[in-house]
């Protein structure tokens, strides 16, 4: 089994340096083009998932639809509420600069818990990871053979990628210091060993790399996602 974990394309809020959390934001034109490019790349490489699981938030759902529309055959897009980004509470809709200025004492003192937004009325780190883990395990339990020759896509958010990867890999780490650019994707493979199943993070691919492989430029070249590489 191969699992592709994809971050959504550049959103309007990303482009404007705005914290999103559970707030909805459409894809910017750049983001729509990123999703289209990624879908064409997967199709050219004959990477065809049986299903695309997606967050219900529009920036992720639109990315899933954009990718699916370029695949032949086009897979079903299934919405999973538990794949939403971390709830950032009162910070939703604020710029990072305004958030630091307005709530200087609200940030988690432990750098390893920067995804903890309980101080702003949002989710704690543990609540966030538990919510995503429970949703992912429920989804994966629907597939009876993890070693079967199949491919599954997830389109989610930068924050959500961390507990999602942790769960799919059954890993002890939290991937807290990874950064995920818009429409970057991670590839996980389940391989058979004598002692059981080995879960491997086999690749982490940026959209710039995909563009080069396709002989094109990154559709969002020159834009800067100042917030969303960690919370998006």
Only one residue has tokens 């939290």, namely: 174
CB atoms within 10 A of CB 17: 16
Please give the residue range of the domain that contains residue 129.
2-213
From the list 5, 23, 6, 81, the residue with the least C-alpha distance to 227 is 23
Identify whether 225 is part of a domain: no
Q: Is residue 11 part of a domain?
A: yes
- What pLDDT does residue 86 have? 95
> Above 60 in pLDDT, residue 143?
yes
CA–CA separation, 209 vs 193, rounded Å? 31
Residue 119 within a domain? yes
Sign of CA dihedral 81, 19, 204, 161: negative
Strand partners, 3: 152, 188
The structure tokens listed for 113 are 């818990």
Give how many domains the chain has, as a whole number: 1
- Rounded Cα distance, 205 and 198, in Å: 21
222 domain-assigned = no
Residues 6 or more apart in contact with residue 222 via CB below 8 angstroms: none
Within-domain flag for 229: no
Domain for residue 131, yes or no?
Answer: yes
The model's pLDDT over 70-102, given as tens digits with 9 standing for 90+, comes to: 999 999 999 999 999 999 999 999 988 898 888
> From the CB of residue 231, how many other CB atoms can be counted at a distance below 10 Å?
20
What span, in angstroms and rounded, lies between the C-alpha atoms of 169 and 137? 11
Q: What is the pTM of this model?
A: 0.93
pLDDT digits 0-9 by tens, 156-172? 999 999 999 999 999 98
* Residue 167 covered by a domain: yes
CATH number of the domain within which 136 lies? 3.40.50.1240
Instruction: Share the mean pLDDT of the chain.
Output: 90
What order do you get walking across the sheet with 151-156 strand by strand? 77-79, 51-54, 151-156, 2-7, 185-193, 196-205
Identify whether 156 is part of a domain: yes
């Amino acid at each position: 089994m191969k699992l592709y974990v994809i971050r959504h394309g550049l959103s309007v809020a990303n482009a404007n340096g705005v914290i999103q959390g559970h707030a909805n934001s459409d894809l910017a034109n750049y983001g729509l083009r990123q999703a289209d490019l990624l879908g064409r790349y997967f199709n050219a490489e004959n990477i065809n998932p049986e299903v695309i699981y997606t967050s219900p938030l529009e920036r992720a759902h639109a990315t899933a639809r954009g990718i699916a529309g370029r695949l032949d055959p086009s897979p079903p897009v299934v919405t999973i509420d538990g794949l939403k980004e971390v709830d950032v509470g009162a910070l939703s809709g604020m710029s990072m600069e305004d958030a630091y200025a307005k709530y200087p004492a609200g940030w988690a003192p432990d750098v390893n818990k920067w995804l903890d937004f309980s101080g702003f009325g949002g989710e704690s780190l543990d609540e966030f990871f538990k919510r995503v883990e429970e949703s992912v395990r429920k989804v994966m339990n629907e597939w009876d053979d993890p070693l079967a020759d199949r491919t599954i896509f997830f389109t989610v958010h930068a924050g959500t990628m961390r507990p999602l990867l942790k769960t799919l890999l059954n890993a002890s780490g939290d991937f807290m210091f990874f950064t995920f650019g818009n429409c970057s994707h991670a590839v996980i493979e389940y391989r058979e060993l004598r002692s059981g199943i080995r879960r491997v993070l086999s690749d982490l691919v940026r959209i710039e790399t995909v563009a080069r492989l396709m002989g094109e430029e990154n559709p969002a070249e020159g834009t800067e996602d100042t917030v969303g590489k960690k919370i998006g």
